[in-house]
Amino acid sequence: MIKTAAVVGAGVSGMQAALSLADRGVKVFLIENTSSIGGIMARLDKTMPTLDCSICILSPFMLAVARNPMIEIMTLCDVVGAIKTEHGYNLEVLKRPRYVDLEKCTGCRDCMAKCPGKVIMPFEENFGRIKAIRFDFDQAIPAVPYIDKDACLYFSKGICGNCVKFCQKGAIDFEQQEETLNLEVGGVFLATGSRPYLPFDKTEYGYGRYKNVITAMELERLLSASGPTSGHVIRLNDKKEPKKIAFINCVGSRDLRTNRGYCSKVCCMYGIKEALLVKDHDPEARVTIFYIDIRASGKGYEEFYQRAKNSIRFIRGRPGELLELDNGDLLLRYEDTESQQPMEEVFDMVVLNSALVPSEGSEQLAKMFGIPLNEYGFFDAGGDPASPISTDNDKVFIIGACQGPNDITDCVSQSIGAVAKTYSIYGDVVERESKELPGTDKENPRVGVFVCHCGKNIGKYVNMDEIVEYAKTLPDVVYVEDSLFTCSESGQKSIKEKIQELDLNRVVVAACSPKTHENTFQEALVEAGLNPYMLEMANIRNQCTWVHSDCENESTEKSKDLIRMAVSKARLLDPLFEREVDVRQSCVVIGGGVSGMASAVELSRSGFEVSLIEREDHLGGKSYVTDPKYREIAKHLIDSVTSDENIRLYLSSQIVHVDGFVGNFDLTLDTPNGEVNANAGTFIIATGYDFADPSVDGYVIGGPVIAEEELVRMMDEERLAGKDFTFILCAGVRNKAHPECSRVCCISALRQIKRIQDTVPDANITVLYQDIRAYGYYEDIYRQVSENGARFIRYSPDSLPSIDANSKSVGVYDTTSSRTLKIGFDLCILERGAIPSRGTNELRQLFKASAAPTGFFAEAHLKLAPLDTAIDGVFIAGACQYPKTVEESLSQAISSAGRAGIIMGSGKYKVQPTTASIDEAKCVACGLCEKLCPYKALKMSEDGKHMEVIEVSCKGCGTCAAFCPSNAISMKGFTYQQEKEKIKALLRGVAK
Amino acid sequence: MSFEPRIVAFLCNWCSYGAADMAGTSRIQYPPNVRVIRFMCSGRIDPNFVLEAFLRGADGVMMTGCHIGDCHYIDGNYKTANRYEFLKHYLDILGIGADRLQLEWCSAAEGLKFAQSVTAFTERIRALGPNPLKEGGK
């Protein structure tokens, strides 16, 4: 058994898969062909629909990958060969030279400042010069630049060499050569993603010819504060701010002419996001989006779209062509499908919302690992929804957008599922070694101060001798040293030696940022036998010499202040320890639909005990309303669940009480046999959805007006009569009561329509819709049923169709022909939307979990933690989060089981050392902290006399400590005394 | 000697401290009057810390955090925003003046914004003159 894995591609999917595998004790080689991990998400300005700063939420994630001892990041690497072995694969990896030594480089960027290299990227050149030695983006990891050989004067002309001259670490190495590495791995996880299509062959839009036609990805870089224009949107030809901007949707997707019939799923939403950001940057800008359907079918997407309508103009139509005018403006010709008139309009800038297409190299990888490609060139998972990432090859898995266009949420969710595969490949849990942190004497502080020159980055801008002499005068400081690079091997060696030699028990490092280097120095402390939390850093580089480089006196004074502050806090530092709590190896799954059953089966397969709770007297949830294909899956799952000894089934039962915390929950069940007490290590909530009530929209079910489930029954029982069928979409949703889009009804309707077309050849099918949201490959079904004659009529939410059941007709105002139509039917099928299932609120309160505005369960983070709730150990799966298709639900259910499995697998849950703690004597039990804590990490003691911290749930934000009116809460690592001392030290001698 | 304001800035680890670091990597210059104290979350900024700084002679205090909606700890910055409002009120009552306290949201990609806010705030405090508590002597 080889307990190693290769993850190919280090975008958000690859990183998540790597973290999940590492959490299970699998050693991961994370192979990335660019110079940094991060993928497309690292290049985005914001993410939709929350407008989170993309790099802000991704950076901590990237750092977690970089710091994980089980993950080896291999950048500038390509898999070039693969030989299947008995235990997995023998991979041949080609490592391209970076020309900068990863070990030696400190990321100071002196080389970049001195590099005269020219630009090569056609897009960026109009905005600024790109250096030959560079980062692809500011927050790159590894934080070491690379040399672009094509742009480098040394490589092209044998001259320059500035980077060598100015690098104080001697980290530049022009002699680096390509290397071939061999890796033995047990499994291969391909997460190569997709890439934005460059629409050169859509010649009608003039991309590449017209200066002011750019792609959405390029606009994203312009919007980004760390992009080439520092966040200014300007035109390429005259650098003016565009005042009138058009976005064109579906460029290169839903487009058979470019052989891309699929919908790219993300473009509608990123287009709206960018449009809003443009407005945010320049409120006077006028923005128009040209669209076919707005596919706002994720959580919060529809609400985001509706909000955008206030400030963005939406025109339904696909522009036919663009013409460039002399001043760089663009004449856009289109047919307004609502007025059916040919129109012309001039814009300052046109943004093409281009498709996502397969990553380069997909074909070679597919060939290498024997994975079929679908007709669009993406990896084909084979279409078994019950195993969403598996291929025919049992050692190779495909994750994320390499299967087809996908958004961040769904990629992350799917990638966590990689962990479930570790059980089949790697067998039993691999024990991780847990290190005991050394303790440290609290009394008698002996502080050592280590000041770093960072080459010249610090040393050049301050009077170092003065700083060193000053530090020696500070209280309890017994040793001060300055070195060229404190982070280097020799610098760290010196820290360790001095700790031991001089019995230091506090260390202050005055150098760069704790965000990048705290870990490095903490490790040095541990190696020298000191508790890692006895370290305090003074950031005299990023926040001093680099930003005050023309005032040596002030920089020197500020450095002295920062060191004095650090020493003052260091004297009061306490050793902190990681505790572990035992975790029960059992999971309670709530909800016996496909999601809950899939989670239960997956958990059982991984060796955990499962209790499956269903309030109805049967399993299967809403699978009865779907296609026979999905009902087969449900039936199979029911068989598995009922025959599985590891799964205890509680039908007609509900949870009435929950207590405890991750790893140690206690619960009470109300069952037909009375109350049952049980316990659990983790929970998975999979309570699904209910149908919206169509009567709020004036639709009444009865007679020839039926819900989809009745149609399904009719077809199953072969009693479908008549040939005129009218579908009404969005019944009961996208209205005031339920403004959200239910995501699944369009797709479900299209499947039923296809089934009717297959069985009733002369059927007349009419679909009344607002937008057809057939995202991704579902577009193929939409196209098929349209080609087979289904008629689609678009109505406006302001004028809903009116059904007359007696005359079997429906009146509708057709927004395309601007006429009111009367359509006769034999059957009128209502596609009811989805709303939170009944009881969701009560269940939420039992767990103290939060809700989204729509009433569905809220996840911890929509993009990066879609399966977690804010409560540790409680996960969500399927449509209780927001409506999902069966495929999506199954994929998430398997992943949630994986998440729960990671916690239970090792039997221990690590409590982070920096938590809040309560001084019981001071606490007056007011309960304010309990209300404030978003993680429910505080509770009243049993005797009601004081509050208690549930350390395992605490994330260490310190909000409770800041608010405690009786100062009874101490935030470890940032205590009141420590911080007050720091403020005092900062302002010493000021108040006279 | 001209008046050089002493400014204390409380930064959150995830966003605004990242912005300050980025101002550094981008070598964006700003006045050297500010001293940074890092917390994990802006929610940790105890009102007493702000008052302590003023009582000890700080001329201005900045509270910074992630943009609303971006908080690493879900909603710590909402609480910071509320606290900022009442602190301003108290600073007026105490005669220190609400103008001497500034709340700023900076994402980890907004090095420039961080530098600009520090610059603008430093200039504002320079114009306001020294912390009035200092003049009375303590």
For chain A, the structural domain boundaries read: 1-96+178-193+359-431, 98-176, 196-357, 447-570, 582-688+837-910, 692-833, 912-986
Give me the count of residues in chain A. 992
Report pLDDT digits (tens) over A811-861: 999 998 889 999 999 999 999 999 999 999 999 888 888 888 889 998 988
Is A561 in Cβ contact with B39 (below 8 Å)? no
Residues 6+ apart with CB under 8 A from A309: none
Contact A291, A263 (CB under 8 A): no
Phi (first) and psi of residue A325, to 5 degrees: -90, 170
CA A221, chain centre distance (Å): 19
Contact A112, A34 (CB under 8 A): no
Size of interface A-B (CB pairs under 8 A): 191
> Cis link prior to A49 (omega < 30° from 0)?
yes
For chain B, the structural domain boundaries read: 7-136
The partner residue sitting opposite B27, judged by closest CB among A546, A958, A991, is A546
CA–CA separation, B85 and A252 (whole Å): 50
Is B75 in Cβ contact with A934 (below 8 Å)? yes
The partner residue sitting opposite B109, judged by closest CB among A226, A914, A992, is A226
Is B108 in Cβ contact with A542 (below 8 Å)? no
CA–CA separation, A619 and A614 (whole Å): 7
Distance from CA of B20 to the nearest CA of A (A): 6
Tell which residue, A870, A982, A974, has the closest CA to residue A563: A982
Is A992 in Cβ contact with B44 (below 8 Å)? no
Report the chain A residue with the minimal C-alpha distance to residue B31.
A548
DSSP character at residue A401: G
Query: In CATH, what is the architecture of A447-570?
Result: 3-Layer(aba) Sandwich (3.40)
- Class level of CATH domain A1-96+178-193+359-431: alpha beta
**Three-class SS state of A366:** helix
Query: In CATH, what is the architecture of A912-986?
Result: 2-Layer Sandwich (3.30)
CA–CA separation, A627 and A716 (whole Å): 9
What ranges make up the beta strands (E) of A412-456? 447-452
Please check whether the two domains, A1-96+178-193+359-431 and A582-688+837-910, share a CATH topology. Answer: yes
Contact B33, B5 (CB under 8 A): yes
Phi (first) and psi of residue A711, to 5 degrees: -60, -45
**Testing the interface with A: which of B39, B46, B71 to mutate, by most A Cβ within 10 A?**
B46
Q: Which tokens belong to A466?
A: 């003065």
**Three-class SS state of B41:** coil
**Testing the interface with A: which of B21, B114, B134 to mutate, by most A Cβ within 10 A?**
B21
Low-confidence residues of chain A: pLDDT under 50: 122-123, 125
Report pLDDT digits (tens) over B86-109: 999 999 999 999 999 999 999 888
DSSP character at residue A399: -
Is B23 in Cβ contact with A513 (below 8 Å)? no
Contact A239, A233 (CB under 8 A): no
Distance from CA of B136 to the nearest CA of A (A): 9
Contacts of B41 in chain A (CB under 8 A): 957-959
CATH number of A582-688+837-910: 3.50.50.60
Report the chain B residue with the minimal C-alpha distance to residue A980.
B49
Q: Is the ipTM here above 0.95? A: yes
Is A543 in Cβ contact with B43 (below 8 Å)? no
CATH number of A692-833: 3.50.50.60
Question: Could you tell me the CA-to-CA distances from A846 to A225, A858, B73 in Å, in that order?
Answer: 42, 14, 22
User: Band of the pLDDT at B138, cuts 50, 70, 90?
Assistant: very low
CA A555, chain centre distance (Å): 39
CB atoms within 10 A of CB A969: 25
Distance from CA of B122 to the nearest CA of A (A): 14
CA–CA separation, A521 and A735 (whole Å): 56
DSSP character at residue A545: I
Given the candidates 3.40.1000, 3.40.50, 3.10.150, 1.10.533, the CATH classification of the domain at B7-136 is 3.40.50
Tell which residue, A692, A696, A708, A725, has the closest CA to residue A800: A696
Tell which residue, A910, A911, A906, A917, has the closest CA to residue A948: A917
Query: Parallel, antiparallel, or unpaired for β A802-804 and A809-814?
Result: antiparallel
Tally the C-alpha atoms within 13 A of residue A718's C-alpha that lie toward its C-beta: 1
Is B79 in Cβ contact with A932 (below 8 Å)? yes
Query: Does domain A98-176 sit in CATH 3.30.70.20?
Result: yes
Fold type of domain A196-357: FAD/NAD(P)-binding domain (3.50.50)
Tally the C-alpha atoms within 13 A of residue A531's C-alpha that lie toward its C-beta: 17
Contact A157, A149 (CB under 8 A): no
DSSP bridge partners of A190: A8, A398
The partner residue sitting opposite B29, judged by closest CB among A549, A987, A990, is A549
The partner residue sitting opposite A986, judged by closest CB among B35, B67, B108, is B35
